Every structure is written in C-alpha cells, then in structure tokens.
Amino acid sequence: MHICHVNLASGFSGGERQTLTLIQQQAQMGYQLTAVVNPKSPLVDELRAIPQCQIVLCPHYTRQHGRSITATCDLLHVHEGRAIYWALFQHLLHRVPYIVTRRIDNPLKKKWLSQLAYRKASALVGLSSEIIHQLEKRHPDARLVKIPSSPVTYPVSQDKVEQIKAHFRGKFLVIHAANMYAHKGFDVTIEAARLLADTSPDIQFCLLGDGEERASLEAQAQGLANVQFMGKQTNMGDWFAAADLLIHPSYTEGLGSVILEAMAAGLPVIGTRAGGIPDIITDDISGLLIEVEASGQLAKFITNIATDTVLRDRLITGSLEQAKTFDISQTALTYQALYQKVKNKS
C-alpha cells in the first residue's frame, strides 16, 4: 500500500510527532510512503532518516500539485488544518481519495472551502469522542472513525535525569508540559501551587513550555517559590523519568497526547474532565480526573498522590496498562483497515 501523508505545519508539536510515529511504524510494516511537508518544519529532517519515505517540500497548500506526486498513491492522509486544502486540490485535480485526522475539539469552521474539504474526504478521523461529536454536528453523513493517537517515546539520558533530580533534590516534582496557550490551564496550575505554597513546600511545580501566555503567567506566579518556568523542552524523556507527577488541567483538549506519553513512561497523571482527556484517563484507575478550573481539587489530588505511596503505585500500574492499548502497533493496524475500506470503495 502506498500512502501519502500531508502535514504542512511549520513547527514540530504533538501532531507532527504523531505523524512521524505513524510513518515510522508504517515503514516497518512495508508501506510505500510519501510525505508532503513544510520545508520549515523539523519534521523534514526526521523523515529523511526513513529510506522508504519520499519527501515533497511544500511551503503552501496551493503548491506542488503535480500528478506525479500521487500517481501511485492509494490515498492521502491529512494530519493538520492547512493540509486539508492541499488534499482537496489534489483530489479535485487528480481524483486521489483522502482521509482527514482531526486533532482538536473546537467547533469546525463555517467557511465554505473548509466545509467543502471535509465533505469531499472519504473518511474523517477524530482522536477522541469529543472530536467525533464536533465532526458529527457539521458532517453527520460522513464516515466518522475514532482512532486515538499513540504515545511518542523519547530517548532518556540518565545524566540529564540525575541533573534534574539533583536540582530539585528533596522535592516532589510536578510537571505541566504544553504550549502556553490560555486553554492549557497553566493558570489553574499556578493557583494550585499558591494553595500548596505554605502547607506543602516540598511540592515543586515545573512549567515546561513557552508561548503567548507566558508573560501573564509569570506575573500570576510572582512570589511563588514553588513554581519555576523552565521554557520549551526537547528532552521530555528526561523530564518524564525525573518527575513524580504530570498534571494537565486543560479547559479543552483534543486528546492530551502528553498525558499518554507520561502514562507510557510510568508517571501518575491528573487531568480534567474536558475534551478527549476522559478517553485516556479512567478515573482512579489510570489517573485522576478533576473538574475544569478546579484549582482546589487539583491541589488536593496532588497532595494525595505525593503523600500516599499506595495510591501512587496503583495509578502508575493502571496508567502503564492503559497506555498499552494506545500503542502505535495497534493504531497503525486500525488505520490500515480504514485505508483498505477507502481503497476498495475508490
């Protein structure tokens, strides 16, 4: 089978890492692969390490629409918002079918071109029940399939792990890792830290990320010795190995891939009952769930995990078991079945 993956993002965030993980798995499965990617994205260098993958550099969705690019492809697999327009044009020009994986739980745009692009897709994939719900509201007649993303595995440097542990020696290390957007709930984390500053000074919060909200968050955290802003990290494997707990109190979330990654790395996790997070955290079994914006509840649950080793060990065991069900080997087989259905229909 020959699949053309399309991801035109210029950065390298969760969606790009998940795209890469799927392509790597499909290469091992013997697929022929083409990837249409933004030349500015670090994804390009990662893909160059996969001999089975032909790379097409595309700076904009209106470019690179030659017939030869997809002449031998069975279908296109779209992974982000701008890529859907590239797939639409390629479909209209050369009749190549495509599927769309949607990773965010926002309501779909009402713009005519966006609606057309979704309507022309052979299947729409949502990472979570909430994303499927949003797709169904706008496209009730589409073929809708829920396929969650898989946890990305990161290398671990034991030296760097020891450096992190040494820096926070004697502390129960809580990490919140995400781009610093308003919906990611960093303000909730800071308020939880404020509630614990005097009663639990041994609990240390590290905020891993950067973005448009950082300045206001730093102002909010002023005077809190138990909060440190560490900036955007590329060595998440080291942080997962060094930390004691990952929290993710988002207001909304497509799925929460960093939660899956932490679970697979053996960390207990706390998330909100928002978006796709309840799809991956079974409350009190593979993690703990809190209500949105509930900083007091978050502070209480952090304290419970920090002080109750039986609870902590039980959640770690549950998270490791649940993470196995999201393994990329299973995800790739689920996509393969969908590809085959689309191919047969075409």
Predicted pLDDT of residue 191: 98
pLDDT reading at 109 higher than 90: no
* 34 has a pLDDT exceeding 90: yes
Residue 99 CA to residue 78 CA, distance in Å, equals: 6
**Contact status, residue 138 vs residue 108, Cβ threshold 8 Å:** yes
CA gap 196, 313 in Å, rounded: 22
- Over residues 75-98, the mean pLDDT reads 97
Taking residues 8-20, report their average pLDDT: 92
Residue 118: φ, ψ to 5°: -70, -40
Q: Residue 278 in 3-state DSSP?
A: helix
- The pLDDT-based confidence of 216 (bands split at 50, 70, 90) is very high
**C-alpha–C-alpha distance, residues 196 and 191, integer Å:** 9
Query: Over the stretch 268-293, which tens digit does the pLDDT of each residue have?
Result: 999 999 999 999 999 999 999 999 99
CATH topology of domain 2-150+327-345: Rossmann fold (3.40.50)
Judge whether residue 326 has pLDDT over 90. yes
The pTM assigned to this predicted structure is 0.91
What pLDDT is recorded for position 13? 86
158-324 architecture in CATH?
3-Layer(aba) Sandwich (3.40)
- Residue 159 — very low, low, confident or very high, per pLDDT cuts 50/70/90? very high
Check if 2-150+327-345 and 158-324 are the same fold.
yes
Is the predicted pLDDT of residue 234 greater than 90, yes or no? no
Tens of pLDDT, residue by residue over 191-201, are 999 999 999 99
In which band, very low, low, confident or very high, does the pLDDT at 219 lie, cut at 50, 70 and 90?
very high
Whole-number Å distance between alpha carbons of 179 and 232:
8
Structure tokens at 237: 């494997």
Mean predicted lDDT score pLDDT of the chain:
96
* Residue ranges of domains in the chain: 2-150+327-345, 158-324
DSSP per residue, 76-94: EEE-STTHHHHHHHHHHHH
Q: Mind listing the pLDDT tens digit for each residue in 293-324?
A: 999 999 999 999 999 999 999 999 999 999 99
Which residue has better confidence, 109 or 197?
Answer: 197
pLDDT in tens, 43-54: 999 999 999 999
**How much is the pLDDT for 322?**
94
Find the mean pLDDT for residues 89-103: 97
